[in-house]
Homo-oligomer: A and B are copies of this chain.
Amino acid sequence: MGIAERKERQRAELREQILAAARRIVTEEGFDALTMRKIADAIEYSAATIYLYFENREAIGLQLCHESFEHLVSYMAPAVQVADPLGRLLAIGRSYARFGIENPAEYRLLFMTHSSFLEALFAAEREHPDPDDPGERAFQFVVDAVRVAGASGKLATDDPELIAEMLWSGVHGVVSLAITCKAALVSSVEDLAETMCRTLVRGISASGDVTLGSRSTS
C-alpha cells in the first residue's frame, strides 16, 4: 500500500512548497506583503488550494516563526562554549543582535509583528508545555546563563528571570529600533548593539570594572 505513503509525501511536498514561497516573499518584501494570491502564483495553484494545507494566512506565519526560532537558536547556541559567566552573557547578547541584524525580516516576523506571533506561540506553549520548543529553549538558554553567572557570585542582583528579560529587552531595543527606522539613528547598529551588551553586562556585574572580551567573541 505505497499509494497512501506517496499521497502523504506529495501532500507534505506541496505544503513545503507553500512555506518556501511564503518564506521567500516574507524575506524579500516583509510579512505585510505576504499575500495568498502571491503564494498561489508562486506555486502555480489557485489561492483557494492553500486553505487545504493551512487554516489561514496567520497559520503560515506561525509556522515560519517556528522555523525562524530554530534559526535564532542556531545563532545563540555556540555561546555555551564561553566559560566565563559574564563573557557568556555578552556572547549571547552579541549573537542575538547579529541574528536580528542579519535577518531583519525574520526578526520582524518573530518579535515585531502587530498580530504578535510571539503571543500566539507563548499561548500555545502555555497550553502544551514543550521543553523542546525553540522559543522556550531560547529563553531558558538566557535564564540559565544568568543563573550560572549568579551562582558564581558575579552578579549584583539575584533575580535570574528579571535580569534575563532585561538583557533580552535591551538588545531587542537596539535591533527593533534599527529595523523600524535606521534613519533615526546616527550610530551604527553594530556599535549600538556592542555598547548595549557591554553596558548591560557591566551594569549587572558585582564589581564595577569588568574584563570585557574582544568584540569578535560572538
The residues of A with any CB-CB pair to B shorter than 8 Å are 30, 32, 111-114, 116, 118-119, 122-123, 126, 156-157, 161-163, 165-166, 168-174, 176-177, 180-181, 183-187, 191-192, 195-196, 198-204, 207-209
Contact = CB atoms under 8 A, between A and B. Distances in A.
A192 B162 CA distance: 7
Contacts of A32: 114
Contact of A116 (B118, B123, B180, B186): B180
A157 B180 CA distance: 27
B183 A123 contact: yes
Q: How many monomers of this chain does the complex have?
A: 2
B30 A180 contact: no
Contacts of A199: 166, 199-200, 203-204
A154 B181 CA distance: 31
Contacts of A30: 114
Contacts of A126: 183
A16 B15 CA distance: 50
B114 A184 contact: no
Contact of A187 (B111, B161, B196, B201): B161
Contact of A170 (B116, B156, B173): B173
B122 A181 contact: yes
A176 B113 CA distance: 11
